[in-house]
C-alpha cells in the first residue's frame, strides 16, 4: 500500500503534468501535429521508437521523417514508389539506420494494406481478460518481424517482454493511443486495449522518482520491474495505473520532488 503522503504527491503531480502544456515539451507533440488516425499512429509509433537521446535531436529527426514522407506519412506509406526510398539513405538516429527505416516503411505498408488501424497489430495473441498487455506486446513483436527479409539488426529497436525488456518506448506509445481523459494529452484512439492493462513506461527518470518515493527498490529496468511498479500504482487507480507515468516522468526530468 502506498503511503497517503506519497499518494498525494503522485496525484498532485499527475494533475500538473497531465495538461496540454505538456505536449509542446514532449515527443508526443509529433503525432499531435496530425488529425488523421493513421498519420497519428505511424508518427506516434515511429517517434516513440526513436525517443532516446536528446529531445531536440529526437524532434528534429521526427520532423525530417515527416518531410521525407512529403508531410503525409499514411499517403506515402501506401502509395510510394521504390525510387522514393532512396531519399531515406541520409536519415539516421543514433543506431537507427537506413535498413531499419526501409523495414519500418515495409511493415507499415503491409499492415495498412489490409488493416485500417495499427491497433490490430497489438492485439495479436492478446485477450480481453489479460491483466496486462504482455501477450499483446509479444504478439506484436512476432507480427512485426513476420517477413523473410526482416533485418536482424532491426530487432534491437522493437522490445518485447519475452526478452525481459521493460519495453519503455512501446509502453509509452500504447499510453498515447489507449489512455483518454479531458486533458487531451494522450489520444485515447483505441478501444480493444483497456487503460487498466497498460504497463508503466519505465525509464531512468521514472525509476529515479519511483525509488525516491519508495515505490520500488530494484535498480534495473526490465519487464519484471515494470510490472511490479505498475502493480504498485494499481493500488491507487486500478482502472488507470499508468496515468502516474506523468507524475514519475515529470518529476524525474524536473530532478526534484516535493521532498525538497
pLDDT at 255: 55
- Rg of the chain over CA atoms, in angstroms? 18
Q: Are 176 and 167 spatial neighbours (Cβ–Cβ below 8 Å)?
A: no
Residues near 147 by Cβ (< 8 Å), separated by ≥ 6? 103, 106, 107, 110
| Count of C-beta atoms within a 10 Å radius of residue 181 | 12
201-216: average pLDDT: 90
**Cell numbers representing residue 100 in the block:** 531499419
pTM for the model stands at 0.95
- As beta bridge partners, residue 96 has 93
Residue 220 DSSP one-character state: S
Kindly report, residue by residue over 217-250, the tens digit of the pLDDT.
867 899 999 999 999 999 999 999 999 999 999 9
**Cell numbers representing residue 88 in the block:** 531515406
**Every domain of the chain and the residues it spans:** 4-254
pLDDT at 246: 96
Amino acid at each position: 500500500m502506498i503511503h497517503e503522503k506519497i499518494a498525494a504527491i503522485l496525484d498532485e503531480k499527475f494533475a500538473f503534468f497531465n495538461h496540454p502544456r505538456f505536449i509542446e515539451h514532449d515527443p508526443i507533440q509529433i503525432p499531435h501535429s496530425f488529425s488523421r488516425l493513421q498519420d497519428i499512429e505511424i508518427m506516434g509509433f515511429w517517434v516513440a521508437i526513436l525517443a532516446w537521446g536528446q529531445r531536440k535531436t529526437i524532434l528534429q529527426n521526427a520532423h525530417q521523417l515527416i518531410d521525407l514522407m512529403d508531410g503525409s506519412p499514411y499517403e506515402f506509406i501506401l502509395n510510394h514508389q521504390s525510387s522514393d526510398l532512396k531519399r531515406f539513405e541520409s536519415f539516421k538516429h543514433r543506431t537507427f539506420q537506413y535498413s531499419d527505416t526501409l523495414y519500418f516503411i515495409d511493415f507499415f505498408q503491409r499492415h495498412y494494406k489490409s488493416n485500417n488501424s495499427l491497433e490490430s497489430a497489438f492485439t495479436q495473441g492478446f485477450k480481453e481478460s489479460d491483466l496486462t498487455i504482455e501477450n499483446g506486446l509479444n504478439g506484436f513483436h512476432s507480427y512485426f518481424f513476420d517477413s523473410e527479409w526482416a533485418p536482424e539488426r532491426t530487432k534491437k529497436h522493437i522490445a518485447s517482454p519475452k526478452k525481459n525488456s521493460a519495453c519503455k518506448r512501446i509502453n509509452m506509445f500504447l499510453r498515447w493511443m489507449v489512455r483518454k481523459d479531458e486533458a487531451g494529452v494522450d489520444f485515447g484512439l483505441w478501444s480493444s486495449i483497456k487503460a487498466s492493462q497498460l504497463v508503466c513506461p519505465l525509464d531512468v527518470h521514472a525509476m529515479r522518482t519511483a525509488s525516491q518515493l519508495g515505490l520500488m527498490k530494484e535498480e534495473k529496468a526490465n519487464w519484471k520491474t515494470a510490472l511490479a511498479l505498475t502493480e504498485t500504482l494499481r493500488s491507487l487507480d486500478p482502472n488507470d495505473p499508468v496515468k502516474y507515468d506523468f507524475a514519475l516522468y515529470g518529476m524525474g526530468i524536473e530532478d526534484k520532488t516535493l521532498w525538497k
